[in-house]
Structure 1
Amino acid sequence: MNGKKVLFVSSELVPYLPESPVSKMSYETPRMVNSQGGQIRIFMPRYGNINERRHQLHEVIRLSGMNLVINDMDMPLIIKVASIPRERIQVYFIDNEEYFKRKATFTDENGELFADNDERAVFFAKGVVETVKKLNWSPDIIHVHGWMASLLPLYLREYYADEPLFADSKIVTSIYGSSFEGNLNEALSQKIAFDQIPEGPVEILKTPSYNNLLKIAVDYSDAVILAAENIPDELQEYINNLQKPVLPYVSFQEFEEAYSNFYNTEVLKS
Structure 2
Amino acid sequence: MKDKRILFVSSEVVPYLPETELSSTSFNAAKNAHSKGVQTRIFMPRFGVINERRHQLHEVIRLSGMNLVVNDMDMPLIIKVASIPKERMQVYFIDNEEYFKRKAVFTDEDDKLFDDNDERAIFFAKGVIETVKKLNWAPDIIHVHGWLASLLPLYLREFYNEEPLFTESKIVTSIYNNSFEGNLNDKLAEKVQFDLNENKKIATIKTPNHTNILKSAIENSDAVIHGSEDISEELSLFIEEKEIPVLGFQEENFKESYLNFYADLIAVK
Query: TM-score of the superposition, structure 2-length normalised?
Result: 0.98
Counterparts of 2:196 and 2:8, CA distance in 1: 26
Following TM superposition, by how much is the alpha carbon of 1:216 offset from its aligned partner in structure 2, in angstroms?
0.4
Counterparts of 2:188 and 2:8, CA distance in 1: 24
Q: Determine the structure 1 residue equivalent to 2:70.
A: 70
Q: Determine the structure 1 residue equivalent to 2:6.
A: 6
**Is the Cα contact below 8 Å between 1:222 and 1:267 reproduced in 2?**
no
Counterparts of 2:11 and 2:258, CA distance in 1: 20
Q: Determine the structure 2 residue equivalent to 1:166.
A: 166
Counterparts of 1:143 and 1:198, CA distance in 2: 27
Following TM superposition, by how much is the alpha carbon of 1:268 offset from its aligned partner in structure 2, in angstroms?
3.9
Following TM superposition, by how much is the alpha carbon of 1:267 offset from its aligned partner in structure 2, in angstroms?
4.8
Moved >4 Å (runs of 4+)? none
**Is the Cα contact below 8 Å between 1:159 and 1:197 reproduced in 2?**
no
Following TM superposition, by how much is the alpha carbon of 1:196 offset from its aligned partner in structure 2, in angstroms?
2.6
Q: Determine the structure 1 residue equivalent to 2:222.
A: 222
**2:47 corresponds to 1:54:** no
Q: Determine the structure 1 residue equivalent to 2:257.
A: 258
**Is the Cα contact below 8 Å between 1:125 and 1:155 reproduced in 2?**
yes
SS of 1:123's equivalent in the other structure is: helix
Following TM superposition, by how much is the alpha carbon of 1:26 offset from its aligned partner in structure 2, in angstroms?
1.0
- Aligned AA (1:122): I
- Aligned AA (1:255): F
- Aligned AA (2:204): I
Counterparts of 1:198 and 1:261, CA distance in 2: 38
**Is the Cα contact below 8 Å between 1:170 and 1:268 reproduced in 2?**
no
Counterparts of 1:37 and 1:170, CA distance in 2: 19
SS of 2:249's equivalent in the other structure is: coil
- Aligned AA (1:187): K
**Is the Cα contact below 8 Å between 2:115 and 2:185 reproduced in 1?**
yes
Q: Determine the structure 2 residue equivalent to 1:40.
A: 40
Query: Equivalent residues in 2 for 1:54-133 (5 A)?
Result: 54-133=54-133
Counterparts of 2:266 and 2:177, CA distance in 1: 22
**Is the Cα contact below 8 Å between 1:13 and 1:26 reproduced in 2?**
yes
**Is the Cα contact below 8 Å between 1:126 and 1:155 reproduced in 2?**
yes
Counterparts of 1:30 and 1:158, CA distance in 2: 26
Query: Equivalent residues in 2 for 1:122-161 (5 A)?
Result: 122-161=122-161
**Is the Cα contact below 8 Å between 1:79 and 1:95 reproduced in 2?**
yes
SS of 2:7's equivalent in the other structure is: strand
SS of 2:86's equivalent in the other structure is: helix
- Aligned AA (2:235): L
Following TM superposition, by how much is the alpha carbon of 1:178 offset from its aligned partner in structure 2, in angstroms?
3.6
**Is the Cα contact below 8 Å between 1:178 and 1:231 reproduced in 2?**
no
Stretches of structure 2 that go unaligned for 5 or more consecutive residues are: none
RMSD over aligned CA atoms reads 1.0
Following TM superposition, by how much is the alpha carbon of 1:199 offset from its aligned partner in structure 2, in angstroms?
3.6
**2:211 corresponds to 1:211:** yes
- Aligned AA (2:258): Y
Q: Which moved more, 1:168-177 or 1:242-251?
A: 242-251
Following TM superposition, by how much is the alpha carbon of 1:197 offset from its aligned partner in structure 2, in angstroms?
4.3
Query: TM-score of the superposition, structure 1-length normalised?
Result: 0.98
Q: Which moved more, 1:55-64 or 1:237-246?
A: 237-246
**Is the Cα contact below 8 Å between 2:140 and 2:266 reproduced in 1?**
no
Stretches of structure 1 that go unaligned for 5 or more consecutive residues are: none
Counterparts of 2:256 and 2:184, CA distance in 1: 36
Counterparts of 2:214 and 2:197, CA distance in 1: 17
SS of 2:137's equivalent in the other structure is: coil
Identical aligned pairs, as a percentage? 64
Question: Are residues 52 and 187 of structure 1, via their aligned partners in 2, closer, same or farther at CA, if it must alter by over 3 Å?
Answer: same
**Is the Cα contact below 8 Å between 2:170 and 2:265 reproduced in 1?**
no
Following TM superposition, by how much is the alpha carbon of 1:239 offset from its aligned partner in structure 2, in angstroms?
1.1
